A = this chain, B = another copy of it.
């Protein structure tokens, strides 16, 4: 007999669970070594282009229920090939199919589910380059970022969610020793079990920029805790999640499970399939990474569901002083250019005192910073090869509209202009926009601007900057905040402000991976809640006449005397002894 997926992956899984418990991180996919891994990587790299090419211009079918025809919603910002037609399925049918698949998936138990989740990841790992091409050609992300966000690092992040969900499932006690009373109030031998009960159908709303990186944690946490998942990609980036769903369905079917535990929901944008699914009564979990506006909408309308929303919000940088002005300018320039401002760490709002700030190169004004930053961006983008590696292509009209609109609100410190892409001359590749605003322009800089739009906001003082930071981020959320200061008091105040605003903070770092590889630290609401909110625990208890009564089942008097004539406590073991029928 073939060993189960759990048996095959038990060691890997246990090692990641153990590392998590020890506060460490293991990255088995990223750190895979040896000839096998090298061969697999080479194979994946060599075949990716061909496999990817074979997907283009033909229907991508998944044999799902409720098919209503085909739909094409993507177009490559790099102009690669004709688009792909996906099956459009009735969303209600997909939810119903997930509901039918739920009982079997729940009964499979956490071991089997975690084993199959690892198997899905293992197969995705062998297709890392194909997935990276799919991300590159739908999101416009430059290829190095696409591989990072779709390959081994994304799989390790998913594996951490699998391990966390598995560990939390394991914490549910299997056996209970409840108490009860039988005839005449004699203690009864009871037995009981605890069962993890999944919440219900889970919905993953795909993100247009990092569909796998942001989608994997919710997808895998839901699967391992027993919830079937309907995956609804963003219309602009369907393919990476479609390949993921296909692999998941294959693994499920091979293991004898209903493939409809994971389905794909694609539709024309005007069908509002995300809203329809998110408010479906049977959808009980929603995962979303994106604008605070849609996150708010979800929390206001998807009452029936637990909503795990990671709000992109208002990434903010507070500049007070620095002993590495050049490093600050250089890293900020990269941040503004990188992936068109879509990475988690790019600041939209840079708060700087109007009167300037101290540096290792003397006092700098806000105007100095704007000018140096603009120059640094221009130098960075002078080389077309760097444009290809760093910037990526713009895919959405809303980004183009945002760039045009934002430029009207203040002095433009760096204009967004076309830059040449060496390989794809037709790609819409642009430099970032940097606009100077006043602190009073809050209505402008508290909007979320998609794409490479950043504001240099002049404030009265560092206290004023911190107050704006705390207030705006507490209200609108953010993925990331940064502070630059040489003053320990300012750093401490910034840390307090970040805690109050509920946002991660980095201090005095020129450079930080845009996407830290630890999923755990990076999950919406960071931590165990991300997993424990996906299930509840149900108890079942019964009389076991053959077992001896456990000590806990003995009658328990109150230690403190009751201020009334001695009585047996109502509803305590032995209640029925009050009654002689």
Binding site for B on A (CB under 8 A): 23, 25, 29-33, 37-38, 40-42, 44-46, 48-49, 103, 106, 128-129, 132-133, 142-145, 147-148, 151-152, 168, 171-173, 175-176, 178-183, 188, 190, 194-195, 197, 296, 299-300, 303-304, 324, 326-327, 329-331, 333-334, 338-339, 343, 376, 379-380, 386, 389-390, 491, 495-496, 498-500, 502-516, 521, 525-529, 532-533, 535-543, 552, 556, 558-564, 567-576, 578-579, 581
CB–CB A559/B504 < 8 A = no
Which residues of B sit under 8 angstroms from A535, Cβ to Cβ?
529
Contacts A190-B509, A512-B541 known; 16 new A-B pairs at CB < 8 A: A30-B556, A31-B556, A37-B559, A41-B558, A42-B561, A46-B563, A103-B500, A151-B558, A172-B527, A376-B579, A502-B538, A503-B538, A504-B540, A505-B540, A507-B540, A509-B542
Nearest CB in chain B to that of A543: its residue: B508
The reply to whether B528 and A532 contact each other, CB–CB distance below 8 Å, is: yes
Distance to closest chain B CB from A152 (angstroms)? 6
Asked if B172 contacts A516 (CB within 8 A), the reply is no
Whether B511 contacts A573 by the Cβ 8 Å rule is yes
B559 near A152 with CB under 8 A, answer yes
Q: Are A512 and B178 in contact (CB under 8 A)?
A: yes
The reply to whether B507 and A541 contact each other, CB–CB distance below 8 Å, is yes
**A272, chain B: closest CB distance, angstroms:** 20
* Residues of chain B with a CB closer than 8 A to A46's CB: 563
Given contacts A376-B581, A538-B502, A570-B389, contact A179 B559 (CB under 8 A): no
Closest 8 CB pairs of A and B: A41-B560, A514-B571, A529-B532, A507-B542, A526-B537, A23-B173, A45-B563, A144-B570
> Chain B nearest CB: distance from A254 CB in Å?
24
Known interface pairs A178-B512, A386-B578; A495-B540 also in contact (CB < 8 Å): yes
Interface centre among A40, A179, A506 (most CB of B within 10 A): A506
Nearest Cβ distance between residue A77 and chain B, in whole angstroms?
16
Decide yes or no: A144 and B568 within 8 Å by CB, A152-B558, A300-B303, A536-B529 being known contacts.
yes
CB distance from A121 to the nearest CB of B (A): 14
Select one of B181, B303, B389 contacting A578, CB under 8 A. Answer: B389
Q: Which residue of B lies closest to A333 (CB)?
A: B579
Shortest distance from the beta carbon of A522 to any chain B beta carbon, whole Å: 9
List of B residues within 8 angstroms of A38 by Cβ: 559-560
Contacting pair A330 B576 (CB below 8 A) = yes
Chain B, residue nearest A171 (CB): B528
Distance, CA A38 to CA B561, complexed state (A): 8
Contacting A144 at CB < 8 Å: which of B512, B561, B569? B569
The reply to whether B334 and A521 form a contact with Cβ atoms under 8 Å apart is no
Query: CB-nearest residue of chain B relative to A29?
Result: B559
Q: Using CB atoms, name the residue of chain B closest to A38.
A: B559
Q: Which of A38, A142, A502, A563 has the most CB of B within 10 A?
A: A563
Check A145–B540 contact: CB distance below 8 A: no
When distances are taken between beta carbons in the complex, the residues of chain B under 8 Å from A331 are 576
> Contact between B299 and A144 (Cβ–Cβ < 8 Å)?
no
Chain B, residue nearest A147 (CB): B562
Q: What is the chain B residue whose CB lies nearest that of A556?
A: B30
CB-CB under 8 A from A147, the residues of chain B are 558, 562, 569
Distance, CA A541 to CA B571, complexed state (A)? 53
Identical copies in the complex: 2
Q: What separation, in Å, do the CA atoms of A38 and B152 have in the docked complex?
A: 63
B573 & A327 in contact (Cβ 8 Å cutoff): no
Indicate which residue in B31, B178, B511, B571 contacts A182 across the interface (CB closer than 8 Å): B511
| Cα A579 to Cα B336 with chains together (Å) | 14
Whether A542 touches B508, Cβ cut-off 8 Å, given contacts A38-B559, A537-B526, A560-B151, is yes
Interfacial chain B residues near A578, Cβ < 8 Å? 334, 380, 386, 389-390
Residues on B with C-beta less than 8 A from A29 are 559
Question: Contact: A491 with B542, CB < 8 Å?
Answer: yes
**Within 8 Å CB of A296, what residues of B?**
303
CA distance A111 to B23 in the complex (A): 20
Kindly state the separation between the CA atoms of A325 and B563 in the bound complex, as whole angstroms.
36
Known contacts A144-B568, A178-B512, A502-B197; A579 and B330 CB within 8 A of each other: yes
Q: Is the CB of B576 within 8 A of A182?
A: no
CB-CB under 8 A from A505, the residues of chain B are 538-541
Does A180 contact B528, Cβ atoms closer than 8 Å? no
Q: Which residues of B contact A563 (CB under 8 A)?
A: 45-46, 48-49, 129, 132-133
Sample (8) of A-B pairs whose CB atoms are under 8 Å apart: A128-B560, A147-B558, A338-B575, A380-B579, A503-B538, A507-B540, A511-B574, A513-B571
A146 CB to closest chain B CB (Å) equals: 9
Task: Determine which of B133, B511, B540 lies in contact with A576 in the assembled complex, contact meaning CB atoms within 8 Å.
Answer: B511
Contacts of A195 in B (CB 8 A): 499
B506 in contact with A541 (CB, 8 Å): yes
Contact of A559 among B23, B31, B541 (CB under 8 A): B31
On chain B, the residues within 8 Å of A507 by CB distance are 540-543
Residue numbers in B under 8 Å from A491 (CB-CB)? 542
Q: Are A527 and B538 in contact (CB under 8 A)?
A: no
Q: Kindly state the separation between the CA atoms of A44 and B331 in the bound complex, as whole angstroms.
A: 67
- A481: shortest Cβ distance to chain B, in Å? 10
A211 to chain B, nearest CB (A): 16
